[in-house]
Amino acid sequence: MQNHSMPQTAGSAHPGMMSRHKRCRELWLSLATAGPGVFWLVFFLLVPFGLIAVISFLSRGPHGEIGLPWTLENYLRFCGFGLLGYDPLFPLILFRSLMLGAVTVLFCVGLGFPLAFFIAGLDGRHRNLALTLVIIPLWTNLLIRTYAWQILLAHDGWLSALAAFLGLISPGEALYPGWTAVTLGMVCDFLPFLVLPLYASVEKLDWNLVEAAMDLGASGAQVFRHAILPQVMPGLLAGVLLVFIPAVGQFVVPDLLGGAKILLLGNAIQLEFGSSNDWPFGSAITLLAMGLVMTGLWFYARMMGRRQEVGIL
Amino acid sequence: MRGELRKDEERPGESRASDPAWAIELERVARRFGEVSALDQVSLAVRSGEFFSLLGPSGCGKTTLLRLIAGLDLPDAGSVWIGGRDMARIPPHRRPVNTVFQSYALFPHLDVWHNIAFGLRMKGVPRAEQAERVGRIMEMVQVSNLARRKPHQLSGGQRQRVALARAIVNEPQVLLLDEPLGALDLKLRQQLQSELHDLQKRLGITFLYVTHDQDEALSMSDRIAVMNHGHIVQVGDSESIYESPRTRFVAQFLGSCNLIDGTIDGREGEAIVVRTAVGPLRLTSHPAASPPVPGQRCTLAVRPEKVSLAPRNGHLAANTLHAVVRDQVYSGAETQYLLSAADWSFRVCALNAGLNGRKYPPGSPVSALLPPESLIVLED
């Protein structure tokens, strides 16, 4: 080879050396910038997650210690196959949690859609005000908000009186504790997470397409279905995920507003890692619930979004 | 056939003159946006099967007019009739019109085929018929090979064709086109102009075409309405609009025009004599609406291509000016001259008939003839 004849071959005289140098430099740069984040993810997410995955296949000793042998018993128990024959306690807990998530999402979508369009229709100043009002509840501690609901919905509160007056409950009854209170608390907590991404989509809505649809003979409902929904789908999908996933695992609000009588996934996991001291079983619940929710959402995203357009999951 | 069908649908009270010759009638339509009057008492009638253009500068209200007809906006006053029916209470999706939008407004999540089929789907046309009609229209506008493409994978010209197909597949009584060629380059625009024109003749659908491009309007339209500041200034066929503009605005908006102020002096046989800065000018045509009153001030207009130049000789005939060439611009088929006579500078456009045609370099003295029949009196 005539390495010296051309300037650009100066480097390729020792190609391995040069590129190794370069690669080293790039590695260092990547480590310095992405390193802390990667470290955080590895040590505080991946490692604990791996441990939980391993523990879920181990057995609990008589005093709560984790040990061999390997077993699938924790998973079978969650599915209902216990020592005393079939008992659907845990499948029911899972079902209840999923329902809570679904109901929360449903109400949030029902309220959030009109709200997002209303805010997007405001002029600049009022729009910022409205957005701030949507976000303000998030600045208050969740526990304080929840306790506030307890007071507002108690049997001597005016909301209960109003409900009784309207004939929704019998006089002397209260809205709290019960499902009404739980739903109300959940929807208020999670509404901003649906409204904000949805609003971002609605704000970018191309109204020309809406007019085109009307012009081509689409009635009101058809315009919504064929011209508006496809456009706001990314925001809606993001909002639904942001509400559904934490809502399924939520246990503070149902506990405080439901009167601590309803067992949900969150409570069950907390119980197994806490007072029951059964880490293998707690880990199994965690993994199964997560797996189920993730698979469900994956199908949901595929169905709703024809993935390449939505770009989530 | 179609007319009879519609008559059956109409209740007696709704039907007016029910003259099927008019596709669109507007009666003193007004629309304001805050303090701005976008349309001021506009009345207009478009014949069935006509290629009708609304021509005017941006902001003149032509797009607003189109939206009122489509039902995408409602007039503050006045009424809109389509095919002899009052549209006051008819929502856009039930009007017998379709629009080709300036931005095309193709649905980005649907492919070409589904974009075109959209209107048929909304109306619940059976699938087999949908496929047949969409296929036929796609062939007609030459997009058959693009059926599965999404709008973002199309070129500007292709999008335009799809937008057109999406509208005409519904077989509307009137097709509304809002500057459909505005975003395309010149070559493509000219090609699509002639295709649009042919298509309109073939389908027989009434076209209401909004444009700010005077060449486009002149070459495609059966009739043109020139608009300015929310008013319709003049309606007529291409030739009458170009040859006898009524106002200064129309004269200058369509093509270029030389203007000169003058005072009416009197009659001289058939001709009217107007005193101007370059001497008395005789003209034969005058708007019938306002008979000439001696002493009245007026503006005269003459098109640059109507003026003929000749080498100057001593003799000064009637309507001939002694002028000097200030500048010339050669542009292939023709040469543009900028001339001045007294204080008046004006343009002349001469065809380059051949190599032996006469040339007048800057500085040459010439005599310019302004033929009496080509001088137009404008209303102010």
pLDDT of residue A57 exceeding 90, the answer is no
Q: What is the pLDDT of residues A172-186, one digit of tens each?
A: 666 677 777 888 888
Tokens of B168: 């005409």
Contacts of B170 in chain A (CB under 8 A): 216-217
Model pLDDT, residue B295 = 81
Please tell me which of the candidates A215, A219, A227 has its beta carbon nearest to residue B98: A215
pLDDT of residue A154 exceeding 80, the answer is no
Please tell me which of the candidates A211, A222, A309 has its beta carbon nearest to residue B105: A211
B144: Cα separation from own chain's centroid:
31
Residue found under tokens 């203007």: B259
Q: What is the pLDDT of residues B160-179, one digit of tens each?
A: 999 999 999 999 999 999 99
Residue in B93, B97, B133 to test binding to A, most A beta-carbons within 10 Å: B93
Residue in B67, B72, B95, B174 to test binding to A, most A beta-carbons within 10 Å: B72
Q: Does A229 touch chain B (CB under 8 A)?
A: no
Contacts of A227 in chain B (CB under 8 A): 107
Model pLDDT, residue B54 = 93
Cβ proximity of A176 and A149 under 8 Å: yes
Q: Least CA distance to B101: which residue of chain A?
A: A212
Report the pLDDT averaged over residues B80-89. Answer: 89
Cβ within 8 Å, pair A209-B107: yes
Read off φ and ψ for residue B323, nearest 5 degrees: -135, 165
DSSP B247: B
Handedness of CA A215, A216, A218, A222 (dihedral sign): negative
* CA distances, B26 to each of B74, B79, B112 (Å): 13, 6, 34
- Look at A118-122, A216-220, B19-23, B136-140 and tell me which has the smallest mean pLDDT: B19-23
Q: Is the peptide bond before B291 cis (omega within 30 degrees of 0)?
A: no
Confidence category of residue B1, pLDDT binned at 50, 70, 90: very low
pLDDT of residue B78 exceeding 80, the answer is yes
Model pLDDT, residue B3 = 37
Q: Which residues pair with B302 in a beta bridge?
A: B258
The mean of the pLDDT values for chain A is 81
Distance CA B370, CA A231 (A): 61
Q: Is the peptide bond before B365 cis (omega within 30 degrees of 0)?
A: no
Residues ≥6 apart with Cβ < 8 Å to B231: B40, B41, B42, B61
Read off φ and ψ for residue B92, nearest 5 degrees: -55, -35
Model pLDDT, residue A14 = 55
Model pLDDT, residue B20 = 64
SS3 A139: helix
Cβ proximity of B339 and B258 under 8 Å: no
Distance CA A244, CA A239 (A): 8
Contacts of B122 in chain A (CB under 8 A): 213, 216-219, 222, 226
Confidence category of residue B156, pLDDT binned at 50, 70, 90: confident
Model pLDDT, residue B339 = 92
* Strand duo B85-86 + B97-100: pairing: unpaired
Strand boundaries in B256-303, DSSP class E = 258-268, 271-276, 279-283, 297-302
DSSP A228: I
Give the ipTM of the model, two decimals please.
Answer: 0.80
pLDDT of residue A7 exceeding 60, the answer is no
Model pLDDT, residue B326 = 92
CB-count burial class (<10 Å; 0-12, 13-18, 19+) for A127: middle
Distance CA B376, CA A216 (A): 45
Residues ≥6 apart with Cβ < 8 Å to B23: B46, B47, B48, B49, B50, B82, B83, B173, B174, B206
Cβ proximity of B95 and B87 under 8 Å: yes
Percent of chain B surpassing pLDDT 90: 38
Q: Does B183 touch chain A (CB under 8 A)?
A: no
Tokens of B346: 């004006």
DSSP B359: -
Q: What is the pLDDT of residues B184-194, one digit of tens each?
A: 888 888 888 88
Confidence category of residue B327, pLDDT binned at 50, 70, 90: very high
Q: What is the pLDDT of residues A108-149, one digit of tens each?
A: 999 999 999 999 888 888 998 999 898 888 888 888 888 888
Cβ within 8 Å, pair A216-B118: yes
Contacts of A218 in chain B (CB under 8 A): 93, 118, 122
Report the pLDDT averaged over residues B345-370. Answer: 83
Confidence category of residue B15, pLDDT binned at 50, 70, 90: very low
Report the pLDDT averaged over residues B296-307. Answer: 88
pLDDT of residue A310 exceeding 60, the answer is no
In this structure, the number of other CB atoms found within 10 A of the CB of residue A308 comes to: 6
The mean of the pLDDT values for chain B is 85
Cβ proximity of B24 and B79 under 8 Å: no
* CA distances, B115 to each of A303, A306, B265 (Å): 21, 17, 64
Tokens of A83: 């020592």
Q: What is the pLDDT of residues B44-76, one digit of tens each?
A: 999 998 999 999 998 888 999 999 999 999 999
Model pLDDT, residue A313 = 38
Distance CA B245, CA B308 (A): 21
Distance CA B175, CA B207 (A): 5
In this structure, the number of other CB atoms found within 10 A of the CB of residue B247 comes to: 17
In this structure, the number of other CB atoms found within 10 A of the CB of residue A255 comes to: 20
pLDDT of residue B16 exceeding 60, the answer is no
Min Cα–Cα distance to chain A from B170, Å: 8
Report the Cα–Cα distance between both ends of chain A, in Å, rounded. 51
Distance CA A211, CA B105 (A): 9
Residues in chain A: 313
User: What are the extents of the domains in chain A?
Assistant: 99-309
- Look at A26-35, B120-129, B147-156, B315-324 and tell me which has the smallest mean pLDDT: B315-324
Cβ proximity of B55 and B232 under 8 Å: no
Q: Which of A269, A271, A100, A267 is nearest to A189 (CA)?
A: A100
* CA distances, B189 to each of B157, B186, B266 (Å): 8, 5, 48
* CA distances, A185 to each of A102, A129, A161, A190 (Å): 14, 23, 18, 9
Tokens of B308: 């003929």
Model pLDDT, residue A143 = 86
Read off φ and ψ for residue B259, nearest 5 degrees: -115, 145
- Alpha-carbon Rg of chain A, whole angstroms? 27
Residues ≥6 apart with Cβ < 8 Å to B19: B84
Largest CA distance in chain A: 99
Angle, to 10 degrees, between the axis of helix A229-249 and the axis of helix A179-203? 150
Contacts of A215 in chain B (CB under 8 A): 70, 72, 92-93, 97-99, 167
Contacts of B97 in chain A (CB under 8 A): 215
* CA distances, B296 to each of B261, B273, B275, B277 (Å): 11, 12, 10, 15
Model pLDDT, residue B182 = 81
Q: What is the pLDDT of residues B109-118, one digit of tens each?
A: 899 999 999 9
Q: Does A225 touch chain B (CB under 8 A)?
A: no
Tokens of B213: 């491009």
Higher pLDDT, B355 or B29: B29
H or E element in which residue B336 lies: strand B334-341
Considering the four listed CATH numbers 1.10.287.610, 3.30.110.30, 3.40.50.300, 1.10.3720.10, the one that applies to the domain covering A99-309 is: 1.10.3720.10
Q: What is the pLDDT of residues A69-120, one digit of tens each?
A: 777 777 777 777 766 667 777 888 888 888 888 999 999 999 999 999 999 8
Model pLDDT, residue B293 = 76
pLDDT of residue B363 exceeding 80, the answer is yes
Model pLDDT, residue B11 = 37
